[in-house]
Amino acid sequence: MENPDEIIYIKRILNGETNLYSLFLERYSRTIHSLIVRIIPSKEEAEELTQDTFLKAFRKLDTFKGDCSFSTWLFRIAYNTAISATRKKKIIFPLIDDTMLENASEELMDTVFDEDDNEHRLQQLEEAITKLNVEEKTLITLYYTDGKPVAEIAEMLQQTSDNIKIKLFRIRKKIYVLMTK
């Protein structure tokens, strides 16, 4: 995932070639926005937070050490920015009893999704996804929509890969429970 070109661009931006920053905007603005919009569904707010993310990244560009890829670093800023916005809004997410999650077996989950063309199931699934908390929405967006590997997601969210795998597994169970509730 690391891109040597990006390091060169960063050096040049730091040396005064500000216009090169537009390359990063072109490359990442859509993916950053699609992540933020999952967390903050309002169009205006999501766009504003995307702007904040790029401004923060520009201001702190000299602190980018290159110990991870630029996209990982940028996604981390986007995630933290979106999280701060949700904290201000105090959004309440439904809590699921742990025993309900334990009872959901993989076989059961798969049988529910056998008819994946079913419109009703799809609608239920969409509703269940909207009920997930911020971290869970971020995880499934990064994993399923952006196709990021578990290791990169772990680096972004500053957690271990095993932890991310467990969380993804629990999210799948939670979606199932929310759908069948």
Find out whether 175 and 143 touch, Cβ atoms under 8 Å: no
Contact pick of 97, 98, 102, 116 for another protein (by CB under 8 A): 116
Closest separation between CB of residue 164 and another protein, Å?
A: 15
Closest separation between CB of residue 80 and another protein, Å?
A: 19
Closest to another protein by CB, 18 or 103: 18
C-alpha 63/C-alpha 124 separation (Å) is 44
Closest separation between CB of residue 102 and another protein, Å?
A: 17
What the block records as the tokens of 121 is 């199931």
70 Ramachandran zone, left/alpha/beta (phi>0; psi -120 to 50): alpha
93 near another protein, judged by CB under 8 A: no
C-alpha 69/C-alpha 114 separation (Å) is 38
Find the binding residues for another protein in span 10-39 (CB under 8 A).
Answer: 10-11, 14-15, 18-19, 21-22, 25-26, 29-30, 33-34, 37-38
Find out whether 175 and 129 touch, Cβ atoms under 8 Å: yes
The site that binds another protein (CB under 8 A) totals a number of residues, namely 55
DSSP 107: H
- DSSP string of 53-91? HHHHHHHTGGG--SSS-HHHHHHHHHHHHHHHHHHHHT-
140 near another protein, judged by CB under 8 A: yes
85 near another protein, judged by CB under 8 A: no
Contact pick of 65, 88, 90, 120 for another protein (by CB under 8 A): 65
- DSSP string of 114-146? S-TT-HHHHHHHHHHHHTS-HHHHHHHIIIIIS
Closest to another protein by CB, 81 or 141: 141
128 Ramachandran zone, left/alpha/beta (phi>0; psi -120 to 50): alpha
Residues interacting with another protein, by CB under 8 A? Answer: 2, 4, 6-8, 10-11, 14-15, 18-19, 21-22, 25-26, 29-30, 33-34, 37-38, 41, 43, 46-47, 50-51, 54-55, 58-59, 64-67, 69, 109-110, 112-114, 116, 121-122, 125-126, 129-130, 140-141, 144-145, 172, 175-176
